[in-house]
């Protein structure tokens, strides 16, 4: 199964009763294993949790901590980027050059990288010597 196929499939499991905006994400870890996540909304947090954060959580729960590739898909007019919090999470677990594909359910794709999504990311190196 491709990352695109995995993201499309998990998107169907999104719980978006308030926005009706379903997002699916698939992450390939350094091991080659694919982890998926979808957005989840609730009454207390109607904007919900993000698909990328869910995929990262699944990866960490399995004992993996390095992202090799990311694919995100939503039914939007143009490819939808991750929120700021998810950009930081991606930067925590993936190198700057890690490829990220943002896609729409209509077939549009935008190829980018973690570094392009979050230039100047804060990292562990900033805390050296403190």
Domain positions in the chain are: 3-118
β-pairing, 67-74 vs 99-104, is parallel
Percent of the chain with pLDDT over 90: 78
Q: pLDDT at residue 70 above 70?
A: yes
52: annotated active-site residue:
yes
Q: For residue 128, what are the CA distances in angstroms to 5, 124, 125?
A: 40, 7, 5
Sheet with 109-113, edge to edge strand ranges: 34-38, 23-29, 67-74, 99-104, 109-113
Using the structure block, give the residue that is written with the tokens 């390939």: 28
Instruction: Please tell me which residue in 12, 41, 47, 52 is annotated as part of the active site.
Output: 52
pTM of the model: 0.92
Neighbours of 112 (CB within 10 A): 15
Per-residue model confidence (pLDDT) at position 30: 98
> Which CATH superfamily hosts domain 3-118?
Cytidine Deaminase, domain 2 (3.40.140.10)
Provide the greatest CA pair distance for the chain. 49
What's the CA gap between 62 and 55, in Å, rounded?
A: 11
Higher pLDDT, 123 or 58: 58
Question: Which residue stretches of the chain are H helix?
Answer: 3-11, 51-61, 84-93, 114-117
Report pLDDT digits (tens) over 79-114: 999 988 899 999 999 999 999 999 999 999 999 999
Cβ-based burial of 24 (10 A; exposed 0-12, middle 13-18, buried ≥19)? buried
Output the pLDDT for position 127.
Answer: 85
């Amino acid at each position: 199964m491709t990352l695109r196929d995995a993201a499309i499939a998990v998107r169907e499991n999104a719980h978006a009763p308030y926005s009706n905006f379903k997002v699916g994400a698939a992450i390939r870890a350094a091991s080659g294993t694919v982890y998926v996540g979808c957005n989840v909304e609730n009454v207390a947090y109607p904007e919900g949790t993000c698909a990328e954060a869910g995929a990262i959580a699944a990866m960490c729960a399995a004992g993996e901590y390095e992202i090799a590739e990311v694919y995100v898909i939503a039914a939007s007019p143009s490819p939808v980027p991750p929120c700021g919090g998810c950009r930081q999470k991606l930067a925590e677990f993936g190198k700057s050059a890690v490829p990220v594909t943002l896609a729409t359910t209509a077939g549009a794709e935008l190829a980018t990288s973690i570094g392009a999504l979050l230039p100047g990311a804060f990292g562990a190196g900033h805390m050296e010597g403190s």
